[in-house]
Each structure stands twice: as structure tokens, then as C-alpha cells.
Amino acid sequence: MVTNTRRTQRGESSLSRDRIIDTAIELLDASGEAGLTFRALAERLSTGAGAIYWHVADKDDLVGAACDAVVAATLAEAPAGAPAGEAIRAIGLGLFDALDRHPWIGAALMRSPGKMPMVRIMEGIGREVQALGVPPDALWTGASALLHYVLGVAGQNAANAQYARAHALVREDFLAEVAGQWSALDAHAFPFTRAAAARLPQHDDRADFLAGIDLIVAGIGAARPA
């Protein structure tokens, strides 16, 4: 939401919900969920820890608002008037990149079911699936499949980023580490995972993500005639 309708505008230094949320995003980006503390926030805002509670209900409210601010800004960037298939890819990629910049969003999305950030994504995807021309009863299934796929990728990517940061690894080293662990698994019990380990280091997250979207869109199309 992040609307600032103060009757008098004060200097940049005055406390407001917007300024709190923006600063919270900075802290979350810089050092993850563990980095967002009411004490750290208060220091950055040159105020007392308790003052923040005048503008924000609690930490859940704060993280939820921060998440929604990023999601809203991301979805607003999606190009209007594109063909449905392309628009879905654009929405997905926009979210994918936002997650990359703000990995804490992954966990935040899973903490506020049915609330604003999730609703925005659902609305964006649902509208485009509708534009795909699917019959009404297939609309919900298709939109829901796409939505949950996007959320699943979001969660995994966020987990990867957070883990890599916590262990001070760059992406390549992280993937190499995981590939190494997968390769060491029992050949009889984990044949697929061992095979997947081989293609892990070179794979392109974004390309794989888009391939998944195309696959689901193809599934929606395949269901149409039936």
C-alpha cells in the first residue's frame, strides 16, 4: 500500500510509514531477514525502537508491507497490451528478477496468504490466462497452476540466495557445492538426482523458469479442446 497522505509534508527526516518501509527494505536487502531488527531500524531512522510501533502494527505487518511495496512496483512495470503468452512471461520474469534482488520476498510471500502481495500476482496472472482464451472452468485451474509454479520457483530461488549469502558463497560456488553433494549420493537410490547434478552447474535459472512457464501454458492450451 505505502501511501503517504500527510496533511503537511515534512522534511525527509520525519518519521512516516513509507520511510520506515523503505528503510526496512534496505535492511532486508543488505542482510536478509536476520538483518531487520527494530533496534537496527530505529538507529537508521535516528529514533527510538518504540516509535516505529506508532506507524506499524508489528514485525509481520512491516515485512508484509515491505513485500507488497516491492511486488506492486514490480507488477507495475509489466508492459501493457502485449499478447497473453508474452505478458505471462513478462510478469514471471519481472518477479523472478525482483526475487533475485530481494530474496527475503520468497519467505514473506508465504506468510501472508490471501493478502495483498499474493493477490496482486494472482490478479496479474489470472487476467493474462483469461486473455489466453480458455473456457471459464479451465481458467481457475490454469491460473492456479501458473501461480503456484511461480511461487515455487520464487521460494526455491530465495532459499538458494539466502543460503549462499549465509555461507558467503557466490552463485557458482553454491551450485558446485550442491552438484558435488548430489553426485555423492547413492547411485541406486538417487539416479535422477545424480543425473541432474551434471547439468546443474551450467544451467540457466531464468531460461529454465521460462521453459516451465511455456510448458504450463502449453498444458493450458492442450486442455482447451477437451
Partner DNA sequence: ACCTGAACACCGTTCAAGT
Binding site for a copy of itself (CB under 8 A): 106-107, 109-114, 119, 122-123, 126-127, 130, 140-145, 147-156, 158-160, 162-163, 178, 181-182, 185, 189-193, 196, 199, 203, 208, 211-212, 215-223
Q: Shortest distance, CB of residue 77 to DNA, whole angstroms?
A: 30
Residue number with CB closer to DNA (9 or 202) = 9
Q: Which does 221 bind (CB under 5 to 8 A by kind): DNA, a copy of itself, none?
A: a copy of itself
Residue number with CB closer to a copy of itself (31 or 130) = 130
Q: Which does 51 bind (CB under 5 to 8 A by kind): a copy of itself, DNA, none?
A: DNA
Q: Which does 122 bind (CB under 5 to 8 A by kind): a copy of itself, DNA, none?
A: a copy of itself
Q: In the structure grid, which three cell numbers stand for residue 7, read together?
A: 496533511
Selection from 166, 22, 153 nearest residue 100 by Cα: 153
Selection from 51, 52, 59 nearest residue 35 by Cα: 59
Q: Shortest distance, CB of residue 105 to DNA, whole angstroms?
A: 17
Residue number with CB closer to a copy of itself (44 or 190) = 190
Residues near DNA, by CB under 7 A: 14-15, 36-40, 46-51, 53-55, 58-60
Q: Which does 50 bind (CB under 5 to 8 A by kind): DNA, a copy of itself, none?
A: DNA
Q: Shortest distance, CB of residue 220 to a copy of itself, whole angstroms?
A: 7
Q: What is the full DSSP assignment across the chain? A: ------SS---TTS--HHHHHHHHHHHHHHHHHHH--HHHHHHHTTS-GGGGGGT-SSHHHHHHHHHHHHHHHHHHTSPTT--HHHHHHHHHHHHHHHHHH-TTHHHHHTTSTTSHHHHHHHHHHHHHHHHTT--HHHHHHHHHHHHHHHHHHHHHHHHHHHHHHHTT--HHHHHHHHHHHHHTS-TTT-HHHHHHHHHTTT--HHHHHHHHHHHHHHHHHHHTT-
Q: Shortest distance, CB of residue 51 to a copy of itself, whole angstroms?
A: 26
Q: Which does 222 bind (CB under 5 to 8 A by kind): a copy of itself, DNA, none?
A: a copy of itself
Q: Which does 198 bind (CB under 5 to 8 A by kind): a copy of itself, DNA, none?
A: none
Residue number with CB closer to DNA (14 or 181) = 14
Q: Which residues contact 15 (CB under 8 A, 6 or more apart)?
A: 45, 47, 51, 52, 54, 55
Residue number with CB closer to DNA (36 or 134) = 36
Query: First CA to last CA across the chain, in angstroms?
Result: 41
